[in-house]
């Protein structure tokens, strides 16, 4: 069994596609405005957006340099360090889905 994608509900597909394009740094590989669907693919996995869906999500992305990513996105976020050894920032897409960017600290890379 292989996880194919994570799907998130959005209220306005065009607004969501712009936000996620900026976050992921890639254009959708599939965009169906009639049915309100967009699919992004990165080497790490796929994110699907479904307009009108009530699906809300929490999605985590591991980054190499958290501060660099926040700078690239031109966003600010409160940084929290966990006891497990990572630094994280929480972002919210235009529909309130929570997007966590995190960076392992020290030697850990799992």
Which helix (H) or strand (E) element contains residue 30?
A: strand 30-32
pTM, whole model, 2 decimals? Answer: 0.78
User: How far apart, in whole angstroms, are the C-alpha atoms of residue 40 and residue 49?
Assistant: 8
Q: Is residue 110 part of a domain?
A: no
Instruction: State the CATH number of the domain containing residue 72.
Output: 3.10.180.10
Closest CA to 28 of 3, 50, 56: 50
Cβ-count burial 41-59 (b if 16+ within 10 Å, e if not): beeeeebbbbbebeeeeeb
pLDDT at residue 8, as a whole number: 92
Residue 30 lies in a domain: yes
Whether 50 maps to a domain, the answer reads yes
Parent domain of 19: 6-104
Please, what is the average pLDDT of the chain? Answer: 90
Q: How many domains does the chain contain in total?
A: 1
Confidence (pLDDT) at 1? 57
């Amino acid at each position: 069994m292989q996880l194919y994608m994570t799907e998130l509900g959005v209220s306005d597909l065009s607004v969501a596609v712009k936000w996620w394009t900026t976050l992921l740094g890639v254009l959708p590989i599939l965009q169906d405005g009639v049915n309100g669907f967009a699919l992004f693919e990165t080497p790490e996995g796929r994110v699907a957006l479904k307009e009108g869906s009530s699906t809300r999500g929490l999605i985590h992305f591991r980054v190499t340099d958290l501060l660099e990513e926040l700078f690239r996105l031109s966003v600010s976020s409160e940084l929290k360090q966990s006891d497990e050894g990572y630094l994280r920032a929480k972002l919210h897409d235009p529909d309130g889905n929570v997007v966590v960017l995190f960076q392992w600290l020290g030697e850990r890379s799992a």
